[in-house]
Amino acid sequence: MAKNVLVVDSDKGFSTILSETLNNHADFKATAVPVSARALQFVVEKPVDLVIIDMGLPDMPVSKLIKAIREAKPTMAIMVIPFIGEDVPEEVQSLGLQGVLPKPFFVGDLPKLVGQAVGLEFESEVPDLPPAPVEEKPAKPRPKPASKRPAPSPPPPPRRRRRPSPSETRSRPAPLPARTSAASLPMLPSWKLEQLRKNKDKIVKDLKNLNGEIRAEVILLTAGSELIATAGTMVEDRAQELALLVAESAEAASQAAAFLGERDARFEQSLHEGSEFRLYSYSLGQGVVLSLALGMNVPLGILRHQTKQTGQALMKYIR
């Protein structure tokens, strides 16, 4: 039977991601509520096996909420989500927790972490490796039956090219524009670009925090064709090559957005999917793009939510 999980978090986007991820697992049935009062009511009225509480609740101290839950249901399992980079306060730890979800965490580990709190064990979601190729013996060619070849027919006479009429010449479409070169890609004003460069260490830290939640092969922040910062396992030379491709793709998307009449002549998000990899980009405007190359095991909703949060945090470096 599935375990009933209650997520208490005022961040609607994040709580929705948590509950939907658990609901995609057959062993969990999750519900999200934004405030403590609704959490208490839910615990009293509904069957609940585990309550996951975010430390940032605005309406009640977490320690007080846990005590109230335990008064109603003394054996209730409880997990907490501390602030990024902070430990769980001692007053909360002393109340007897069954688990902690430290930010950032990889979404593939969520069923395992939550399962441990309710006595279930799961493996982390790791993509299966493709099976090793089986070497097959080449088939012996079958002998072809002898046959008489027909005499070759004479080649057809060459066709005369018809000269287009003046009306056809006038209606011929204009040639497509040449491919955008790296030199023509949009760039920030020089003082803003310099500001990004000076804050590279802080930006790298933000990208690493994002990668802790997403586990991408590489995360790039580019300004035009310049790679500002990167995080992940991809070597620098390949990251530089990918950064240029991302910049050219962003410019093409910008031209398409302008053609369609999109506001600010840009698409905020773009996604390319294959059978094994995604390339997801989030535009900060003015040619600055946050891009992630990753496998297919991260839910798209989580990818969009976490990337947008990081992108909005990076906006302070270009304002």
| CA-atom Rg of the chain in angstroms | 29
CA–CA separation, 108 and 4 (whole Å): 19
Do 231 and 245 touch, CB atoms closer than 8 A?
no
Q: Which helix (H) or strand (E) holds 232?
A: strand 226-232
Domain spanning 3-117 has what CATH number?
3.40.50.2300
Do 250 and 220 touch, CB atoms closer than 8 A?
no
Domain with CATH 3.30.450.30 in the chain: 184-317
pLDDT in tens, 10-30: 888 888 888 888 998 899 999
Long-range pairs for 148-155: beta carbons < 8 A, 24 or more residues apart: none
pTM exceeding the 0.95 threshold for the entire prediction: no
Domain with CATH 3.40.50.2300 in the chain: 3-117
Q: Burial code of 12-28, b = ≥16 C-beta within 10 A, e = fewer?
A: eebbbbbbebbeebeeb
CA–CA separation, 241 and 236 (whole Å): 9
Distances from the Cα of 152 to the Cα of 148, 159, 179, angstroms: 12, 20, 46
CATH architecture of 184-317: 2-Layer Sandwich (3.30)
Q: In one letter, which amino acid is 166?
A: P
Per-residue pLDDT of the chain (319 residues; tens, 9 = 90+): 899 999 999 888 888 888 888 998 899 999 999 999 999 999 999 999 999 999 988 889 999 999 999 999 999 999 999 987 788 999 999 999 999 988 767 777 888 889 999 988 765 443 433 443 444 434 445 545 444 455 555 555 555 555 555 554 444 444 444 444 444 445 567 888 889 999 999 999 999 988 887 888 999 999 988 899 999 999 988 999 999 888 888 888 888 888 888 877 778 899 999 888 999 999 998 889 999 999 887 878 788 888 998 999 999 988 8
| SS3 state of residue 43 | helix
Query: Quick one: tokens of 36?
Result: 């403590």
Mean pLDDT across the chain:
81
Q: In one letter, which amino acid is 203?
A: I
CA–CA separation, 268 and 92 (whole Å): 40
